[in-house]
Amino acid sequence: MKINELAKEIHENAKNHGWWEENKSFGDIIALCHTELSEAFEEYRNGKPNAYCIYNTNGDCHEIDATCIRCMTEQPTTKPEGIAIELADCIIRILDYCGHEGIDIEEAIRIKHEYNKTRPYKHGGKIL
């Protein structure tokens, strides 16, 4: 699936689950993205794995592997967690917005990537 198709699918899912019943401002979208990134950082600070799932009410968990999609499907209480999952949530929020606004994010990424290739080593000279 291409990124623009995924954006449309993600946006349709968000609409179907009521997340666009009220319009969101651009600031709202940015704040939601920040929230997901902060959650990823907290997972990192807490020493959590990149991806794991909690598969029962006792809070037992295991790193995500091939069995997890089945696990999540069969046990609705199972929720994926971890750094990678929170990063994915941020990307999902961005793609949802792109789907809502009809932004060709594939082309925007391609254009920006091509431009970045022309930039000098550590352009701007800023640290971190």
**Residue 94, pLDDT score:** 98
Lowest average pLDDT, out of 32-46, 48-62, 64-78, goes to: 64-78
For domain 3-117, say whether CATH 1.10.287 is its number: yes
For residues 4 and 10, give the distance between their C-alpha atoms in angstroms, rounded to a whole number: 10
For residues 69 and 125, give the distance between their C-alpha atoms in angstroms, rounded to a whole number: 44
What are φ and ψ of residue 118, in 5° steps?
A: -90, -10
Which one has a higher pLDDT value, 77 or 5? 5
Contact 90, 36 (CB under 8 A): yes
**Residue 69, pLDDT score:** 59
In the chain, what are the domain boundaries? 3-117
Which one has a higher pLDDT value, 62 or 105? 105
Instruction: Encode pLDDT of 25-43 as tens digits.
Output: 999 999 999 999 999 999 9
Q: What is the mean pLDDT of the chain?
A: 87
The one-letter code for the residue type at 57 is T
**Residue 52, pLDDT score:** 81
pTM of the complete model: 0.83
